A and B are shown apart, each in its own frame.
Chain A
Amino acid sequence: MNWSRALTVARTDLKQLAQARDFWLPMVILGTLFFVVFPGILLVTITQIGQVDAIANVSQTLEVLPANAQEQIRGDTPQGRTGYALAVFLFAPVAVVIPLTISTAVGAATIVGEREKGTGEFLAHSPAGVQEIYIGKLIASLLPGYVTTAVGFGVYSLIVNLTVGPEVGGWFFPTAQWWVMILWVLPPFLAICLSLVLRLSARVTSTAAAQQASGLISLPLIMIAYSQSTGALLGSGAIAIWLGGVAWVVAVFSLSRGVRSLTRSRLLGVASGV
């Protein structure tokens, strides 16, 4: 396993992605909507304009949160408490869904794409090892999703602190649980999802089929991640750490199995069957 060659594969894939404006433009729009526009509108509405009806509604909803989640909510005014709860809990799943969506879309096309365009033949004849190619493609799929999330999350933090912060006594975001979420829970979930998607990409015969089927794979994973991320943030910190730990173990196992799905003959497009 030669890491510099894996990085070469990743870099070349990313370079191509950067050239594909029709691909990354929708992704940027998606990220902007969910990390910036929607939360911005919602939080500004609640904290600044003081929409009484909306606050009353949300405040009511807050009461159904688990006790230990309720304890975490800060702020003295209803606006402050509502804004805090929304900022911390409501948008948590976005941080999972966006990277999964983006990385899945990239990953699904990556191996079958080489095969369709005939460039897999070049790779198959080259000295690059299949492991190196696999890892390179994994990195090239992970990064776009993760970077979008990191940037989006940064902007989101700024918005939250500027709008809700004054109500609850200063900047508070990201909370400790969010850090755990972004750095510890999200990466293994991404890796698990991608290991499955790459396995699929190595086997199907067309990019379209890969996109379709990867939807089937990633949807349940998105659901799990969605509920778990919410749960992790709502529950105690320990849950999140455990959850992340288990996900890492599964991810490592899943990736080491996934490496085997890529063979030279699959790069040529001569393997039959899924």
Chain B
Amino acid sequence: MGRLDHVSADAGISGSVTPLRVVSPTRQIDEREFVVEIADATRTFGPVKAIDGLDVSIEKGRISVLLGPNGAGKTTAIRMITGALSPDTGTARVFGLDPAGDDGHEVRRRCGVVSAKPSLYDRLSGWDNLRYAAELYELGRGAGADNRIREAAAMFGIEGSLDHQVGGYSTGMKTRLALARSVLHDPDLLLLDEPTSGLDPESAFAVLELIRKLTRDGQTVLMCTHLLLEAEGLADEIVIMQKGTTLLAGTPGELASQYWPTPQVKVTSPSAEGFDLLATLDGVHAVSIDGETATADLDTLDRIPDLVASLVAGGVPVQAIVPFSPTLEDLYFAVRRDRGDDHGSDDIRPPEALSGRPARALPEAA
């Protein structure tokens, strides 16, 4: 798609990674508090560079979503945050502490993790699994801890199955138990590695709602996902990773305005001459044509009524004029295409295919 290349070249971000939040017009850097700061980290496994110059900053009280194809290093990044793995070079700071050093205990105590595999003890009951976590996370063994266990289980609707062995749980129940376990100790930072995998749509929705609620209470959430639709309504910040590095980071609005700096409108018409007319109209900067649809860059969307009038007056058979609002999917593929690697596209499914409804548009840039 030539158009995207053209637009992104205009936006001036096809070279080395520019941290988008630096150019954010609305928020000052010094006002913001970062819970996680990974700088120039690398980590290799034998010949594989799992993390290769990664920079990630996660702001306090916000939901950040890590997007990236299989093998991008998302899980490895989460493991670095809790200190389960240490970076070979570079630094990782969490709550201002070094998770792989002496302060690791403090960091891990304040983190709640749902890993990609539920990592539950199949031979134990749901209750015993939560009990174990309660003890390891220093909630103690008293009635207070018991209440907290019941509360967390109820949050995810598994309070009725706590007496059963986890080996007999369905995939979704295991995920819920893992989620309940992760919030048991009221963590300051919640790290979720594809937390809705295996959940039915209703449960997945409930989980996303809960994540939203947690951040309202001041907790910070970092979530990895492949599901763009899921990230779409949820993410305050998006980090797109590939091959162990950050491709792009910022709020959805910021990222969209980087890739689509001017408002756009899509005009559908069977008449090619009509598009020539379109290009000459006031306020239209550029037109790119793809079959029967032309995409016009405008100075402002307020031009649309005039545009319609001029085209109709010019006898152009206009079938549709739609302002273009990029979705996260548009953004994701634009970024990935821009960076010249499209191999991971098969693991990202278009939102429409999942839900049967059109994807939600990204919010306007602030």
Where the two chains meet, the residues of A that have a C-beta atom closer than 8 Å to any C-beta of B are: 4-5, 8-9, 12, 15-16, 19-20, 117-129, 264-265, 267-268, 270, 272
A16-B135 contact given A118-B115, A125-B84, CB 8 Å threshold: no
Q: Are B45 and A125 in contact (CB under 8 A)?
A: no
Interface residues on B, range: 20 to 34
Instruction: Verify B84–A268 contact, CB threshold 8 A.
Output: yes
Cβ–Cβ contact A121 & B124, under 8 A: no
Pairwise interchain contact B105-A129, C-beta atoms closer than 8 A: yes
Q: How many whole Å from B221's CB to the nearest CB in chain A?
A: 15
Q: State A264–B121 Cα separation when bound (angstroms).
A: 18
**Given that A16-B124, A270-B45, A272-B45 are known contacts, is A118 also in contact with B135, CB under 8 Å in the complex?**
no
If A15-B128, A122-B115, A264-B83 touch, whether A128 touches B123 (CB-CB below 8 Å) is no
Given contact pairs A119-B120, A121-B119, A124-B84, A272 touches B109 in the complex (Cβ within 8 A): no
- From A119, A129, A270, name the one whose CB has the most chain B CB atoms within 10 angstroms: A119
B132 contacts the other chain (CB 8 A): yes
| Inter-chain contact B128/A12, CB cutoff 8 Å | yes
Do B137 and A119 have beta carbons less than 8 Å apart? no
Q: Which of B105, B113, B119, B165 contacts A118 (CB 8 A)?
A: B119
Question: A125 touching B124 by the CB < 8 A rule?
Answer: no
Contacts beyond the supplied A19-B124, A118-B117: 11 A-B pairs with Cβ under 8 Å: A5-B135, A19-B123, A118-B118, A119-B120, A120-B119, A122-B181, A126-B108, A127-B105, A127-B109, A127-B138, A265-B84
Of the candidates A20, A118, A125, A272, the one whose C-beta lies within 8 Å of that of B82 is A125
CB of B342 within 8 A of chain A?
Answer: no
CA distance in complex: A123, B120 (Å): 10
Given the interface pairs A12-B121, A118-B115, A119-B121, the reply to whether A124 lies near B135 with Cβ below 8 Å is no
The closest CB in chain B to the CB of A273 belongs to B46
Q: Does B308 lie at the interface of the complex (its beta carbon under 8 Å from any beta carbon of A)?
A: no
Beta-carbon nearest neighbor of A17 in chain B: B123
Q: What is the chain A residue whose CB lies nearest that of B134?
A: A8
> Which 3 pairs, one residue from A and one from B, show the smallest C-beta to C-beta distance?
A124-B84, A118-B117, A125-B113
A-B contact pairs, 19 of them (CB 8 A): A5-B135, A12-B132, A15-B123, A16-B123, A19-B124, A117-B119, A118-B117, A118-B118, A118-B119, A119-B121, A122-B181, A123-B136, A125-B111, A126-B137, A127-B105, A127-B137, A127-B138, A265-B84, A272-B46
Shortest distance between the CB of A8 and any CB in chain B (Å): 4
